[in-house]
């Protein structure tokens, strides 16, 4: 019997010929990731184990991205813990501000998430790297600590759901819309514990940035991971970046799926998720009148070059609505610089938007754009839970960057073509 891509990667890393869904396996991990919120806890737990050294200083990434540049004294203390641990253990991939990015933007960009690998991160959106054919999944701080000690993690082999996208993509529809559409169909626990495999002609034509945005939100359906089999586009992306040798893995022709769901992309319009769950999606034509106080373009979902270019294309020569604050957050230093070189900053500043240094910032209600009671934001981020961006009485709507940019101009949730 053939294996899905997740099964095959797990089997290889467990030293087995084959695995079946439901089986528990202990696997070797290629990379262990933590950030300024989750790594301090992991470091405390690591100390309890009593080892002096981490398993491999080249296979741990520490990224202070959530509350950085340090938003308050306690955050500064947490970042210091991270920094001191990185120095003590001589961690190769510690990314200080000025050289960093949002972790899930940064790792693919730096060639630290590669096809066929297993990557665990003490952050739920670690699943992003499935876009490059890595089995990547979020874990907690204690799992991170154990992996820093042993270089291993235990998993239950997931069932796999296969999503095939056929037909022709609407021009304003991106990976973000495809995943919002799927979550709207199957619900926030629709892929609980599962691997989601995305394929079909629409996915094959999708850019890497769009694929990363898509797999980023697999966790929003409850999944262990979101996977796209590596193709020429993915292999070309990693070729010049890879920091270590890797071996791509593809699903078998006769792999067994729990369920296969086929979507016609032509039927999918830009999506908006209403408060307070990512599954509350509507097509843009069914949104109605939703006035906004703030628009955020950024995050590990949509803070990449493609996203900023899309936004700039719509904002060129226009002004942000006078009742709206537009906050743009490039996902990494590299993207920040590239956007500046391409003249996107001029467009954003002309439009009277704010440009932030790379940070998670408002995405999780940290800093750089917290909402007051009753305020409403449209964001290109991935979660719209109660209080996610600030006051529990505020509201977050989710969309792609084109809808976000257009809406910043009109002051209400709008389709991109309304401002053309």
Partner 1 sequence: MEGNVHKFGDNVDTDVIIPARYLNTSDPAELARHVMEDADPAFLQKVRLGDLIVAQKNFGCGSSREHAPLAIKAAGISAVIAHSFARIFYRNAINIGLPILESPEAAEKIAPGDRVRVDLAAGRIDNLTSGEQYQATPFTPFMQDLVEKGGLIPYVRWRLRSDAGNRKPDTENSDR
CA pair distance 397, 282, nearest whole angstrom: 11
Indicate which of partner 1, ligand SF4, none lies near residue 375 (CB less than 5 to 8 Å, by partner kind): none
Indicate which of ligand SF4, partner 1, none lies near residue 141 (CB less than 5 to 8 Å, by partner kind): partner 1
DSSP for 84-109, please give it.
HHHHHTT-TEE--TTS-B-HHHHHHH
CA pair distance 164, 149, nearest whole angstrom: 39
Among 42, 300, 314, 351, binds ligand SF4 (CB under 6 A): 300
Work out whether 113 is an interface residue with partner 1 (CB under 8 A).
no
Instruction: Count CB-CB contacts under 10 A for residue 345.
Output: 18
Cβ nearer to ligand SF4, comparing 82 with 300: 300
- Residue 18 CB contacts under 8 Å (≥ 6 apart), including other chains: 1, 3, 7, 11
Indicate which of ligand SF4, partner 1, none lies near residue 156 (CB less than 5 to 8 Å, by partner kind): partner 1
- Residue 69: asked if its preceding bond is cis (omega within 30°), the reply is yes
Work out whether 120 is an interface residue with ligand SF4 (CB under 6 A).
no
Query: Which residues lie across from 63 on neighbouring strands?
Result: 35
Work out whether 82 is an interface residue with partner 1 (CB under 8 A).
no
Cβ nearer to partner 1, comparing 44 with 291: 44
DSSP letter (8 states) at residue 317 = T
The torsion angle over the Cα atoms of residues 379, 38, 121 and 214, rounded to 10 degrees, is -10
Cβ nearer to partner 1, comparing 122 with 229: 122
Indicate which of partner 1, ligand SF4, none lies near residue 4 (CB less than 5 to 8 Å, by partner kind): none
Rounded to the nearest 5°, which phi and psi values hold at 34?
-150, 160
CB of 330 to partner 1, least distance (A): 21
Work out whether 360 is an interface residue with ligand SF4 (CB under 6 A).
yes
Which ranges of 151-205 does DSSP label H, i.e. alpha helix?
175-186, 201-204
Q: Is 299 left (phi over 0), alpha (psi -120 to 50) or beta?
A: left
Indicate which of ligand SF4, partner 1, none lies near residue 50 (CB less than 5 to 8 Å, by partner kind): partner 1
Among 12, 271, 281, 299, binds ligand SF4 (CB under 6 A): 299
Q: Give SS3 for 256.
A: coil
Work out whether 299 is an interface residue with partner 1 (CB under 8 A).
no
Work out whether 381 is an interface residue with ligand SF4 (CB under 6 A).
yes
Work out whether 364 is an interface residue with ligand SF4 (CB under 6 A).
yes
Candidates 126, 105, 120; CA nearest to 208 is: 105
Cβ nearer to ligand SF4, comparing 215 with 249: 215
Candidates 9, 54, 6, 11; CA nearest to 33 is: 54
Residue 63 tokens read as 């990224």
Residue 143 tokens read as 């799992």
CB of 98 to ligand SF4, least distance (A): 18
Cβ nearer to partner 1, comparing 50 with 288: 50
Work out whether 226 is an interface residue with partner 1 (CB under 8 A).
no
CB of 160 to partner 1, least distance (A): 15
Q: Give SS3 for 336.
A: helix
DSSP for 154-207, please give it.
EEEPPPEEEEEEES---TT--HHHHHHHHHHHH-TTTTTTPEEEEESHHHHTS-
Could you tell me how many residues of this chain bind ligand SF4 (CB under 6 A)? 13
The tokens 């956007």 sit on which residue? 339
Work out whether 8 is an interface residue with partner 1 (CB under 8 A).
no
Contact criterion met (CB below 8 Å) for 385 and 371: no
Binding map of partner 1 across residues 33-72, x = CB under 8 A, - = no contact? ----xx-xx--xx--xxxx--------------xx---xx
Interface residues with partner 1 (CB under 8 A) are 14-15, 20, 22-26, 37-38, 40-41, 44-45, 48-51, 66-67, 71-72, 74-75, 78, 121-124, 126, 138-143, 145-146, 149-150, 154, 156, 188-189, 192-193, 219, 222, 224, 277, 364-366, 383, 385-388, 392
């Amino acid at each position: 019997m053939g294996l899905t891509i997740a099964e095959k990667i797990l089997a290889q890393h467990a030293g087995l010929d084959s695995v079946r869904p439901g089986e528990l396996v202990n696997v070797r991990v290629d990379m262990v990731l933590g950030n300024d919120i989750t790594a301090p806890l992991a470091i405390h737990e690591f100390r309890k184990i009593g080892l002096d050294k981490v398993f491999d200083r080249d296979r741990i990434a520490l990224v202070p991205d959530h509350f950085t540049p340090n938003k308050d004294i306690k955050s500064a203390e947490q970042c210091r813990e991270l920094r001191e641990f990185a120095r003590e253990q001589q961690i190769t991939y510690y990314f200080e501000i000025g050289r960093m990015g949002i972790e899930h933007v940064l790792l693919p960009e730096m060639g630290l998430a590669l096809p066929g690998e297993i990557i665990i991160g003490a952050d739920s959106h670690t699943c992003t790297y499935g876009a490059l054919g890595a089995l990547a999944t979020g874990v907690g701080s204690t799992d991170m600590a154990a992996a820093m000690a042993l270089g291993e993690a235990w998993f239950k082999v997931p069932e796999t759901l296969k999503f095939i996208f056929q037909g022709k993509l609407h021009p304003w529809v991106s990976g973000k819309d495809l995943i919002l559409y799927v979550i709207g169909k199957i619900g926030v626990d629709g892929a609980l514990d599962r691997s989601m495999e995305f394929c079909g002609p629409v996915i094959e034509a999708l850019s890497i940035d769009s694929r990363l945005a898509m797999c980023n939100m697999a966790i929003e359906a409850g999944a262990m991971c979101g996977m796209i089999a590596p193709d020429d586009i993915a292999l070309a992306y990693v070729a010049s970046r890879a920091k270590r040798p890797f071996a791509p893995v593809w699903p078998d022709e006769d792999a067994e799926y729990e369920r296969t769901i086929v979507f016609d992309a032509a039927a999918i319009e830009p999506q908006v998720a209403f408060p307070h769950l990512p599954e509350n999606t509507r097509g843009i034509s069914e949104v109605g009148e939703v006035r906004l106080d703030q628009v955020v373009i950024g995050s590990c979902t949509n803070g990449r070059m493609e996203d900023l270019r899309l936004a700039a294309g719509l904002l060129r020569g226009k002004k942000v609505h006078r009742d709206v604050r537009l906050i743009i957050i490039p996902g990494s230093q590299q993207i920040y610089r590239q956007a500046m070189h391409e003249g996107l900053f001029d467009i954003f500043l002309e439009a009277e938007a704010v440009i932030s240094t790379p940070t998670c910032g408002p995405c999780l209600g940290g800093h750089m754009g917290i909402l007051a009671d009753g305020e409403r934001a449209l964001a290109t981020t991935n979660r719209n839970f109660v209080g996610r961006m600030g006051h529990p009485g505020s509201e977050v709507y989710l969309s792609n960057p084109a809808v976000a940019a257009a809406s910043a101009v009109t002051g209400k949730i709008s389709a991109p073509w309304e401002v053309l």
